[in-house]
Structure 1
């Protein structure tokens, strides 16, 4: 159920592409809220707004903000002028998008005549925080290659919520974005992962593709009850379309939960029980004791029998991030607090350069 309250806009702290970070007066307190301008219109100080307060009332860490449902002083909004495909279907918030697949689309014929991804490298992460270190390492070494980001609907649905995407696009490090399923707001809209991959190849001429959900992730502590499980079917789709599936393992030595130490049980579950094809899994050559644990996990779960495990020398993650002035954070931890996590994403970029296209220097 949705908890709704009416508040007054007190200030507009920040405005970026499609997202307003505002402060509202609610129950006598000043509280934070987000307004999606393309969905709920332009906002001004003093406006009376209807807010979805559910997440804050539940004290959620993910999605723990108020969101504007409607601006009572401005009911006009315009997500898109064309298109016939609905996202957030059959809800009061359903939006119309111009999808590349639909028959009226100028891209319809290219999508329909697609044959193969021709071994195009597609890297699949499970957390949105894997995006920035991957992009930094890939683009620092390949500034002229086209990198496309596909955002799934496993977490946040509007791409506007992602400050990471906004920053990376403004710096020219992501060339194009695609949103799929019920996620929306990308440069291109697609119905599913298959047509998104085809769009990246046939329409955007991508050299490399990164796929992950938007900000936020849901987990329950059960074997299959986490949104990152989508990594398995996505890897299957890449292989089915004759692409090169590359999986980023979730690795940490800072997480206090035993099930996430070393290779997370999320990744082990995907690689062992969910994905149906052999995939490429880059592993950073961490320090000896940490690498020993990871190798034991690989051996105990027979991951090397079904997948190609490649160990990558990589001490450049922080340098790559600093080169572009990028900061990273995942689960409340920055690079120095959880370097192995971010190194895993960066090493996937070095895997692409080392194995897929040979662009990595040979003197590492």
Structure 2
């Protein structure tokens, strides 16, 4: 199940608090690897490291690099000082975190006394690459409002892997991060989506919440076999806690797979068969032919019978990204190659700005 090799650290290409991009010498071959210093210890050139080489040997596109399991020259590491909640439980890699909910937490009482989200807009994406265009458009129009990002366990588990999050936090565009389930490394740790939503409101005073998995997504070409299906239960949770659930549809006209053209079959499956509550689905007013296809998909699947479909003019995505000096890429494609995908996430931000944020009213 796990392929392991021993290598020598040849060079350190890039370093941050949570992630080291290194090159390792494995039997004379120089290869790329990632080290999480909080998990596997600080790294130095010349250190001998044990590597998980499974993904590279499988030739995976996402996650196709080695990971340091342990540094034989530095066995000490420390993810958090306090806390009693374990993530990656009952595995050799289990880590201890200081979870917001636990009894010793300063926030335990606030979590326990929670009543309602009071219609806070909560936007749910299915791919991590939806985060940056949403954040750019939301913060361009709402620079003083607090935006919280909740990262689920649907893909990458350490938030440190996301260079998007690192960039957005460095630029001050994400105010706080929360990691849930077995995902870890956020500013706050929570056991599940419910307590993460409560934390966003009661502790972080969020004006808007964005939820998606970290980098990477698994799909099988089957109706239900994809990790993005988590969007449905998350939307249900938002409604249960009296929040305003907003779903970003996965839209593309550049994908070579027919099932992802227009509104992806992933989004149609979630909206038609998985989510149990009425949610808001902002749709960009694309070019006529593309918009016609999307409207046909909506009608054929009777999505208007269950959800609030809103068509919004938005030609500002690229301008918003450029304003903050941000680059985007999804499935190997940049903005110019798959603009409709990134526009969909940006349009959700305009929906929040134009309809939800000011009054938090129920009559949206």
TM-score class, shorter-chain normalisation, is: over 0.9
CA deviation after TM superposition for structure 1 residue 17, in Å: 2.5
Structure 1: distance between partners of 2:16 and 2:251: 32
TM-score by length of 1: 0.98
Cα deviation, 1:10-68, whole Å, max 9, x if unaligned, reads: 00000123100000001321100000010001000000000000000000011111000
CA deviation after TM superposition for structure 1 residue 256, in Å: 0.5
Asked whether the equivalents of residues 17 and 166 of structure 1 are also in contact (C-alpha less than 8 Å), the reply is no
Q: Is 1:51 the equivalent of 2:60?
A: no
Structure 1: distance between partners of 2:227 and 2:52: 23
Q: Is 1:11 the equivalent of 2:11?
A: yes
Structure 2: distance between partners of 1:190 and 1:53: 30
| Higher mean C-alpha deviation, range 350-359 or range 178-187 | 350-359
CA deviation after TM superposition for structure 1 residue 358, in Å: 4.5
3-state DSSP of counterpart to 1:178: strand
Q: Is 1:252 the equivalent of 2:248?
A: no
Structure 2: distance between partners of 1:75 and 1:303: 54
Structure 2: distance between partners of 1:150 and 1:98: 16
Asked whether the equivalents of residues 129 and 215 of structure 2 are also in contact (C-alpha less than 8 Å), the reply is yes
Asked whether the equivalents of residues 207 and 357 of structure 2 are also in contact (C-alpha less than 8 Å), the reply is no
Number of equivalent positions: 359
Structure 1: distance between partners of 2:218 and 2:61: 10
Asked whether the equivalents of residues 179 and 190 of structure 1 are also in contact (C-alpha less than 8 Å), the reply is yes
Structure 1: distance between partners of 2:81 and 2:141: 38
- 2:338 matched to which residue of 1? 338
- 1:242 matched to which residue of 2? 242
Cα deviation, 1:196-236, whole Å, max 9, x if unaligned, reads: 00000000000000000000000000000000000000000
Cα deviation, 1:316-357, whole Å, max 9, x if unaligned, reads: 000000000000000000000000000000000000011102
Structure 1: distance between partners of 2:129 and 2:88: 24
TM-score by length of 2: 0.98
- Structure 1 unmatched ranges of 5 or more: 360-364
- 2:287 matched to which residue of 1? 287
3-state DSSP of counterpart to 1:270: helix
- 1:102 matched to which residue of 2? 102
3-state DSSP of counterpart to 1:154: coil
- 2:170 matched to which residue of 1? 170
Structure 2: distance between partners of 1:86 and 1:296: 47
3-state DSSP of counterpart to 1:122: strand
3-state DSSP of counterpart to 2:245: strand
Structure 2: distance between partners of 1:333 and 1:17: 28
Asked whether the equivalents of residues 121 and 208 of structure 2 are also in contact (C-alpha less than 8 Å), the reply is yes
Structure 2: distance between partners of 1:227 and 1:153: 9
Asked whether the equivalents of residues 262 and 293 of structure 2 are also in contact (C-alpha less than 8 Å), the reply is yes
Structure 2: distance between partners of 1:337 and 1:207: 32
Structure 2: distance between partners of 1:52 and 1:356: 45
Q: Is 1:179 the equivalent of 2:179?
A: yes
- 1:362 matched to which residue of 2? none
- 2:362 matched to which residue of 1? none
Structure 1: distance between partners of 2:358 and 2:91: 48
1:23-38 → structure 2 map (5 Å cutoff): 23-38=23-38
1:1-364 → structure 2 map (5 Å cutoff): 1-358=1-358
3-state DSSP of counterpart to 1:273: helix
